[in-house]
Amino acid sequence: MPSAAPRSSIASPSASERAAWPSAARWVPDDHALPALEAAVAGCRGCDLWRDATQAVFGSGPRGAEVMLVGEQPGDREDLAGEPFVGPAGALLDRALEDAGIQPDTVFRTNAVKHFRHVDKGHKRIHKTPSRWQVAQCQPWLLAELDAVRPRTVVLLGATAGQAVFGPRFTVGDHRGRALVWPEGVGPEPERVFSTVHPASVLRSRNRQEDYDAFVADLRLLSR
């Protein structure tokens, strides 16, 4: 694993600089086996986020999992560990899955964006939501993971995950807890797709218990 030392933030590229980034598609191998994808994502230069992150964080879970959960991006802990959902939000997600009657180790977890976007504040690295452009640049990795895992159900956790599939106008509030229609032409179509909040938003909530219960209720849709 590369050094865990925090690095200094680099300004996001300007519009003209962005035009020079080719999107992740160039780095996605034809072989969509999970080990091949994971090896290749480490070298992706499809947007600027690789420069300021420790490493790419690829999805994790059983190949052929029935359910794929898609979050936003790796957080500070995930960036250092190289694994998705290993921080506090991941712990809450595990508890919520169990409370919804789903074994956490049966689901595949990934993120819409594979490198950690953040700003440095003193010794802390503060999460920064990926831009629409960065989400779009990274989409080929998500679609390749979908092709590798072929889940029956996809759950989009939060607005960024929704936007990675449905485009930049997607909001969770409009679609939460309902079966959605997968957009035509966007990678391999799962049988079912749902959206709910990201577990990190439950952790930040002032009404944490109420929001946790609503999150579990959304996840219960998976066992139907």
Q: Cβ of residue 140: shortest distance to ligand SF4, in angstroms?
A: 8
Q: What are phi and psi of 149, to 5 degrees?
A: -90, -35
Task: Report how far apart the first and last C-alpha atoms of the chain are (Å, whole number).
Answer: 40
| Identified binder of ligand SF4 from the candidate list 111, 137, 195, 196, rule CB under 6 A | 137
Nearer to ligand SF4, 43 or 173 (CB): 43
Q: Give the Cα separation of 159 and 170 in Å (integer).
A: 7
| Identified binder of ligand SF4 from the candidate list 109, 114, 125, 175, rule CB under 6 A | 114
Residues numbered 27 to 66 that lie near ligand SF4 (CB under 6 A) are 41, 44-47, 49-50, 56
| Identified binder of ligand SF4 from the candidate list 85, 108, 141, 215, rule CB under 6 A | 141
Residue 116 near ligand SF4 by CB under 6 A: no
Nearer to ligand SF4, 46 or 59 (CB): 46
Mapped to the 3 state alphabet, what secondary structure does 83-112 carry? Answer: CCCCCHHHHHHHHHHHHCCCCHHHEEEEEC
Beta strand pairing call for 192-196 and 153-157: parallel
Number of chain positions touching ligand SF4 (CB under 6 A): 16
Q: At CA 138, angle to CA 161 and CA 144, rounded to 5?
A: 85
User: Tokens 């802990």 identify what position?
Assistant: 77
| Identified binder of ligand SF4 from the candidate list 109, 115, 118, 198, rule CB under 6 A | 115
User: Tokens 């966007």 identify what position?
Assistant: 186
Q: Give the Cα separation of 150 and 128 in Å (integer).
A: 30
Candidate segments 82-90, 136-144, 166-174, 189-197, binder of ligand SF4 by CB under 6 A: 136-144
Residue 24 near ligand SF4 by CB under 6 A: yes
| Identified binder of ligand SF4 from the candidate list 113, 154, 155, 164, rule CB under 6 A | 113
Q: What are phi and psi of 194, to 5 degrees?
A: -130, 160
Kindly list the residues in this chain that would bind ligand SF4 in the complex (CB under 6 A): 24, 41, 44-47, 49-50, 56, 113-115, 134, 137-138, 141
